[in-house]
Amino acid sequence: MLYRFQYARKFKTNVKEYKFWQDGNHATECFNYEFAMQKLYYIHQNPVRALIIEEAEHYLFSSAKNYCGQKGYLDVKLI
């Protein structure tokens, strides 16, 4: 595994030994309610797509349960 991280760093001059994270980020302003809800849905579905859980509200540290009308593990302000 370390070999792969060493190989990935060969293409980046600012990385000294290992490159673990992917490059890039794309910040996007949540300019309206529908867009914010789309991003929230995407976040809630990540553990489902990763096959960690079957339903988004089953993930312990997710706010999905709060958005389903149930009491979640975390205190959440709904948008």
Report yes or no on 27 lying in a domain: no
Report yes or no on 34 lying in a domain: no
The number of distinct structural domains making up the chain is 1
pLDDT of residue 8: 78
Neighbours of 47 (CB within 10 A): 19
Q: Apex CA 53: angle with CA 45 and CA 20, to 5°?
A: 70
Report yes or no on 30 lying in a domain: no
Report yes or no on 19 lying in a domain: no
Q: Domain range for residue 66? A: 42-79
pLDDT of residue 15 exceeding 80: no
Report yes or no on 11 lying in a domain: no
**pLDDT one-digit tens code per residue, 23-47:** 777 777 888 999 999 999 999 999 9
